[in-house]
C-alpha cells in the first residue's frame, strides 16, 4: 500500500505517505501560548509521516480568532519547543502552518483594531465566531504598500522563530480565504497597484512571502497550502486555472518541500466553470511533491496516490479522531468518529482522549 510506504520530503525520509492536515483547535491561552495538552495531542499523532500544525498566527495583527496560538513572542516560541522535542523523540516530523487571517477576523478579538485585507471589502453572507458570539464581518482596513511589506517581513520572522522552536519546516496557509488567498482572488483583491489588477499582480504577494520564507527557513523546508476552487469566505475567481497555474509554475522556481492542494469541498453547481479534478489540473503543473487533501479515506487516498500526481495524502478529521491512523490503515481497523462539539476550544476532552486501538 503506497499510503504506508516511506516518502522523501525535502531532505527528510518520512515513515509513511500520510500527513496530518493543519487543524485549528483553539486551545491556546488568550496570549496565544499553547500548553502541555497540545504537546500531548501532537505527540499522540507522531506516527503520521508528516504533522502539519494548526494555523499559527505570525503576528498580533494576523489573529482572527481567540485562543489560536502564535509564534511571535518568547513564551509562544518556548511552548512550541516542547511540542517539536516530544514529536521528534517519538520519530515524527512536524511543520508549522503560518497563518495570517486578513479580513477573516473581528475587532472585538483584536483589541478594537479592524482586520486588514488587500481591499476594503467585507465578507457577506457569513458571520464570524468571536469571543462575544457570532458577528457580521466588518469592512477591513485596506493595506498600504508599506504595511504589505511589513507583513512579508513578519512571515520571515515567524519562519525563523519556527525553526528556532525546532520545527522541520513551515507551510504557508494560502488557502480557504485567509490573507494570502485574499490577494489571489478577484473578489477580495480590487487593488490597482502592483498587488492587484492582473494575474501576475495578484500572485505577487504570495510569491514574495514564499521567497521570504525560503530565505528564513532554508531550502526544502517550505510548503504551501492552496485551495484553487474553494469559494468559502467570499473568494471568487473568474478563471481559477488562469490564476493558479502561473502561480504554481512560479513556485516551481523556488526550492520548496511541497505544494499542498485542496479539493473543492463545497458543491460547484454555481461554479460550472471551475475544474473538478484538482490534482490533474493543478497538481500536474507542480514539480514539487504534491500533498492531496480533502475528503479522502483509505481507499480513495490510495487511489489518488496510484494516479501518480500526489505523493502524499493529508487527512484532517480522520487524524483528529484517530491518533494511530497509520496503524488503523495497516490493520483495516474501525475509525473513531470526530466530535464536532469539541473541535474548537475546551480542554483535553475531544482533544487528547480519542482512544488508540488497544485502549
Ligand X SMILES: Cc1cc2nc3c(=O)[nH]c(=O)nc-3n(C[C@H](O)[C@H](O)[C@H](O)COP(=O)(O)O)c2cc1C
Q: According to CB under 6 A, which one of 40, 114, 152, 343 is a site residue for ligand X?
A: 343
Q: How far is the CB of 343 from ligand X (least distance, A)?
A: 4
State how far the Cα of 345 lies from the Cα of 23, in Å rounded to an integer: 12
State how far the Cα of 98 lies from the Cα of 75, in Å rounded to an integer: 17
- Which cell is 238 given? 473568474
Stretch that binds ligand X, among 32-40, 188-196, 231-239, 313-321 (CB under 6 A): 313-321
Residue (96 or 188) nearer to ligand X, CB: 96
- If 0-12 CB within 10 Å is exposed, 13-18 middle and 19+ buried, where does residue 329 land? buried
Q: Under 8 Å CB-to-CB from 166, ≥6 apart: which residues?
A: 80, 81, 84, 85, 88
Residue (196 or 316) nearer to ligand X, CB: 316
Binding mask 38-77 for ligand X (x = CB under 6 A): ----------------xx----------------------
State how far the Cα of 110 lies from the Cα of 65, in Å rounded to an integer: 8
CA nearest to 165, candidates 87, 231, 112: 87
Binding mask 244-273 for ligand X (x = CB under 6 A): ------------------x-----------
Residue (117 or 318) nearer to ligand X, CB: 318
Q: According to CB under 6 A, which one of 102, 228, 316, 350 is a site residue for ligand X?
A: 316
**Near ligand X in 270-309, by CB under 6 A:** 293-296
**Near ligand X in 144-203, by CB under 6 A:** 173, 175-176
Nearest residue to ligand X by CB is 316
Report H helices in the chain: 36-44, 74-89, 145-164, 179-183, 199-217, 240-251, 278-281, 298-307, 317-321, 325-331
Q: How far is the CB of 268 from ligand X (least distance, A)?
A: 16
Q: How far is the CB of 292 from ligand X (least distance, A)?
A: 10
HEC string of 247-263?
Answer: HHHHHCCCCCCEEEEEC
Residue (218 or 346) nearer to ligand X, CB: 346
Q: How far is the CB of 297 from ligand X (least distance, A)?
A: 9
Q: How far is the CB of 320 from ligand X (least distance, A)?
A: 6
Whole-angstrom CA distances from 320 to 68, 85, 136 are: 17, 21, 29
Q: According to CB under 6 A, which one of 97, 189, 237, 286 is a site residue for ligand X?
A: 97
Give, rounded to a whole angstrom, the gap between the first and last alpha carbons of the chain: 26
Q: How far is the CB of 120 from ligand X (least distance, A)?
A: 25
- Which cell is 245 given? 497555474
Contact assessment for residue 265 and residue 292, using Cβ atoms and an 8 Å cutoff: no
Three-class secondary structure of residue 69 per DSSP = coil
Q: Is residue 231 annotated as a catalytic residue, yes or no?
A: no
Binding mask 204-233 for ligand X (x = CB under 6 A): ---------------------x--------
Residue (4 or 139) nearer to ligand X, CB: 4
State how far the Cα of 190 lies from the Cα of 202, in Å rounded to an integer: 9
Q: How far is the CB of 285 from ligand X (least distance, A)?
A: 20
Residue (121 or 294) nearer to ligand X, CB: 294
- Which cell is 329 given? 490503515
State how far the Cα of 331 lies from the Cα of 325, in Å rounded to an integer: 10
Selected catalytic residue, list 72, 137, 178, 274:
178
Residue (235 or 294) nearer to ligand X, CB: 294
Q: How many CA atoms lie within 13 A of 175 on its CB side?
A: 25
Binding site for ligand X (CB under 6 A): 21-24, 54-55, 97, 173, 175-176, 225, 262, 293-296, 315-318, 343
Catalytic residues: 178
Amino acid at each position: 500500500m503506497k499510503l504506508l510506504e516511506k516518502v522523501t520530503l525535502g531532505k527528510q525520509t518520512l515513515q509513511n505517505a500520510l500527513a496530518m492536515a493543519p487543524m485549528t483547535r483553539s486551545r491556546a491561552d488568550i496570549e496565544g501560548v499553547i500548553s502541555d495538552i497540545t504537546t500531548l495531542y501532537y505527540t499522540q499523532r507522531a506516527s503520521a509521516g508528516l504533522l502539519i500544525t494548526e494555523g499559527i498566527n505570525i503576528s498580533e495583527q494576523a489573529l482572527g480568532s481567540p485562543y489560536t496560538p502564535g509564534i511571535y513572542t518568547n513564551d509562544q516560541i518556548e511552548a512550541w519547543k516542547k511540542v517539536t522535542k516530544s514529536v521528534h523523540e517519538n520519530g515524527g516530523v512536524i511543520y508549522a502552518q503560518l497563518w495570517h487571517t486578513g479580513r477573516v477576523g473581528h475587532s472585538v478579538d483584536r483589541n478594537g483594531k479592524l482586520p486588514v485585507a488587500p481591499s476594503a471589502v467585507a465578507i457577506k453572507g457569513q458571520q464570524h465566531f468571536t469571543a462575544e458570539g457570532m458577528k457580521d464581518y466588518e469592512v477591513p482596513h485596506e493595506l498600504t504598500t508599506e504595511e504589505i511589506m511589513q507583513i512579508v517581513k513578519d512571515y520571515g520572522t515567524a519562519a525563523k522563530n519556527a525553526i528556532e522552536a525546532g520545527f522541520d519546516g513551515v507551510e504557508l496557509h494560502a488557502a480557504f480565504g485567509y490573507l494570502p488567498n485574499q490577494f489571489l482572488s478577484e473578489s477580495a483583491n480590487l487593488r490597482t497597484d502592483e498587488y492587484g489588477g492582473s494575474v501576475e499582480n495578484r500572485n505577487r504577494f504570495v510569491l514574495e512571502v514564499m521567497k521570504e520564507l525560503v530565505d528564513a527557513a532554508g531550502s526544502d523546508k517550505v510548503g504551501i497550502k492552496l485551495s484553487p476552487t474553494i469559494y468559502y469566505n467570499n473568494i471568487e475567481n473568474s478563471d481559477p486555472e488562469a490564476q493558479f497555474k502561473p502561480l504554481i509554475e512560479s513556485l516551481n522556481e523556488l526550492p520548496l518541500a511541497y505544494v499542498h492542494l485542496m479539493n473543492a469541498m463545497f458543491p460547484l453547481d454555481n461554479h460550472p466553470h471551475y475544474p473538478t479534478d484538482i490534482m490533474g489540473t493543478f497538481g500536474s503543473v507542480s514539480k514539487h511533491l504534491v500533498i492531496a487533501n480533502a475528503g479522502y479515506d483509505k481507499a480513495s487516498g490510495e487511489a489518488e496516490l496510484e494516479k501518480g500526481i500526489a505523493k502524499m495524502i493529508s487527512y484532517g478529521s480522520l487524524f483528529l479522531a484517530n491518533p494511530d491512523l497509520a496503524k488503523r490503515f495497516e490493520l483495516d481497523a474501525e475509525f473513531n468518529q470526530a466530535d464536532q462539539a469539541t473541535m474548537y476550544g475546551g480542554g483535553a476532552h475531544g482533544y487528547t482522549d480519542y482512544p488508540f486501538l488497544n485502549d
